[in-house]
Copies of this chain bind each other. A is one copy, B any other.
Amino acid sequence: MTTATALSGVIPPVCTPLTPDFEVDRPSLIRLVDHLLAGGVDGLFLLGSTSEVAYLPDGHRRTVLDTVIGHVGGQVPVLAGVIDMTALRVLDHVRVAVQAGVAGIVATAPFYTRTHPAEIAVHFRTIAQHAGVPLYAYDLPVSVHSKLGAQLLLELAAEGVLAGLKDSSGDEGGFREVLLGRRARELDSFAVLTGSELTVDAALWMGADGVVPGLGNVDPHGYVRLFQAARDDDWTAARTEQERLFRLFGLVHVGGAHMGRSSSALGAFKAALHLCGIIDSPTTAIPQIALDDAEIAAVGRYLADAGLL
């Protein structure tokens, strides 16, 4: 169930461009994918949180999978989120994703329910048993309100249930526990990716294999340069690049307090892609509040400061 070598590099969670009436904008999605591939990314992660997966009905999810996988044609591995509350619902998404041709699937712990760690293990085992493609755990306590413990992850890795981890928990101590545990238990094919896009140099320094950066939609070249510098052992260059990206990341706050925190970040990524001419509309999914003109102008200033506009 695991890949021979661990997944690695820059694997952005791909935004889902929408038309003004909230349909998937396929031409824009294809242009976005081309933009990412031109940036040199090592893989694509569809239908993650940054893709607004929680807002997309199943039909939209299918459209995204078919559009991207058909277009990419195997140039890079394409993973897909199969985000739903519990295992049997997840498996419905898995079937669609596998049929569409994904290289791997990404699942969170159960949510909405209050779930014991022993039940989280059953959840992942059930998914893996029926998936037929590598399964990656997505640690995202801010959304699912459970933290995946390092020992549980390593145990599931050793069992062959998990092919890897995308850690968006922000818990760097726990992340390092996974990395050191992987080394101690010689679980070399278990991929450890960080979703903490502001400390990627540190994560790679500790031994991570790659990064899944939301901001990578806007500036894939930056994250690819950062990863390459780290691979070349030029950590000072990696840090300088990360610090530049850190400043650019400030754009996620333009929406302020009159909308959800997700809405501000996702709205800013899409506004940036729209300003750069990559997608046709900055529309975010219902029921998110849209950025107003002044906020979009503020996004533009971040892009200009970063030399992206």
Contacts and interface: CB of A to CB of B under 8 A. Distances in A.
A201 B176 CA distance: 12
Q: Which size bracket describes the interface of A in this complex? A: 35 or more
Interface stretch (A67-75, A154-162, A282-290): A282-290
Contacts of A206: 199, 202, 239
Given A170-B170, A201-B205, A286-B87, A260 B115 contact: yes
Contacts of A285: 86, 88
B88 A119 contact: no
A111 B111 contact: yes
Contacts of A145: 145
Given A243-B180, A260-B114, A122 B202 contact: no
A181 to B, nearest CB: 10
A201 to B, nearest CB: 7
B114 A262 contact: yes
A83 interface: yes
A22 B39 CA distance: 46
Contacts of A123: 286-287
Given A180-B243, A285-B88, A286-B123, A112 B111 contact: yes
A119 B289 CA distance: 6
Contacts of A268: none
A297 to B, nearest CB: 21
Interface in A240-279: 243, 246-247, 258-263
Given A123-B286, A170-B172, A246-B180, A143 B202 contact: no
Contact of A119 (B118, B142, B287): B287
Given A56-B89, A57-B88, A263 B202 contact: no
Contacts of A235: 205, 235
A247 B88 CA distance: 34
A227 B258 CA distance: 42
Secondary structure class of chain A's binding surface, majority of residues: helix
A258 B205 contact: no
Interface in A171-228: 171-173, 176-177, 180, 196, 198-199, 201-202, 205-206
A116 to B, nearest CB: 4
A55 B92 contact: no
A98 to B, nearest CB: 16
Contacts of A120: 287
A64 to B, nearest CB: 14
Contact of A88 (B86, B116, B177, B286): B286
A145 B143 CA distance: 9
29 contacts: A54-B110, A54-B112, A54-B113, A55-B89, A56-B89, A57-B92, A60-B88, A83-B112, A86-B286, A87-B287, A88-B286, A110-B287, A112-B144, A113-B262, A116-B258, A116-B259, A116-B260, A118-B258, A119-B288, A122-B286, A122-B287, A123-B286, A126-B287, A145-B145, A172-B199, A172-B202, A176-B199, A202-B205, A205-B205
